[in-house]
Amino acid sequence: MTKSYGLALHTTSPELGLAISDFAGNSRTQVWDLGRSLSTELHQYLAEFIQPQTWADLGFMAVAKGPGSFTGTRIGIVTVRTLAQQLEIPVYGISSLAIAAWRLSKEKAEEKAIALQMPAQREQLFAAIYQPSESGLITLLADTVLTAESWQQTLDNWPEPYQLIVVGDKLGTDVTSLLELAYLNWKQGERPHWSAALPFYGQHPVVEKSPTLG
């Protein structure tokens, strides 16, 4: 049996985005705004969404690895890693910011680099800069966590033209761009092992203060 389908999950925001395609005309996408129930309802939606295809039809899976919701990112990564391990198929873990950059590059069709920022905890920002190309995205500044001041200094000193994008908190519809990026990597011969799909949290969800030593 030919494993001809790719399946993508985007769970880093309150929206659940699922996309499946055989890249030959048979594809579908669906997005649900699940809020806090995403972690408890993901598996039910996933089991229903994949029909009439079966797990055996999958040649690879893709997942948004963050930044974004800590809980949503974790459940997405765990789900995809577990399935891919059982199915013995590759997993493409792709940055939420890179996915947004890819979508924007298709919408605007500009050659400028895309600088992206997303609110993080403790008055900081998730930030990255990507350059679109025909074969995907070139990482100019990898996903990182910065203060607003440091990010502005980075942009002020950036040597090339760029467009600045503020990424919102509704990212489910980006799942189609996630699947496209994964398929580009697939066509280029990349076959990442499921264990290589690791979440990017950027920050710990809870920071404990160390006791003051006298």
Q: Is pLDDT above 50 for 209? A: no
The boundaries of the domain holding residue 104 are 97-166
pLDDT in tens, 147-192: 999 999 999 999 999 999 999 989 999 999 999 999 999 999 999 9
In a domain, 126, yes or no: yes
**pLDDT for res 202:** 77
| Residue in 117, 116, 155, 113 with CA at minimum distance from that of residue 132 | 113
In a shared domain, residues 87 and 10: yes
- Name the pTM for this structure: 0.91
In a shared domain, residues 55 and 110: no
In a shared domain, residues 110 and 72: no
State the average pLDDT for the chain: 91
User: What's the structural domain count of the chain?
Assistant: 2
**pLDDT for res 207:** 41
**pLDDT for res 81:** 97
pLDDT in tens, 55-72: 999 999 999 999 999 999
Answer whether the bond into residue 14 is a cis peptide, omega within 30°: no
CATH code of the domain in which 30 resides? 3.30.420.40
In a shared domain, residues 88 and 183: yes
Let me know the angle formed at the C-alpha of 100 by 124 and 158, rounded to the nearest 5 degrees: 60
In a domain, 209, yes or no: no
pLDDT in tens, 69-125: 999 999 999 999 999 999 999 999 999 999 999 999 988 767 789 999 999 988 899
Contact 175, 17 (CB under 8 A): yes
pLDDT band at residue 204, thresholds of 50, 70 and 90? low
CATH code of the domain in which 162 resides? 3.30.420.200
In a shared domain, residues 67 and 130: no
Only one residue has tokens 């030593």, namely 213
In a domain, 208, yes or no: no
In a shared domain, residues 66 and 110: no
In a shared domain, residues 161 and 75: no
In a shared domain, residues 139 and 58: no
Q: Is pLDDT above 70 for 214? A: no
In a shared domain, residues 89 and 182: yes
pLDDT in tens, 16-31: 999 999 999 999 999 9
**pLDDT for res 212:** 36
Contact 165, 108 (CB under 8 A): no
**In Å, what is the CA distance from 147 to each residue of 69, 103, 126, 169?**
19, 26, 9, 19
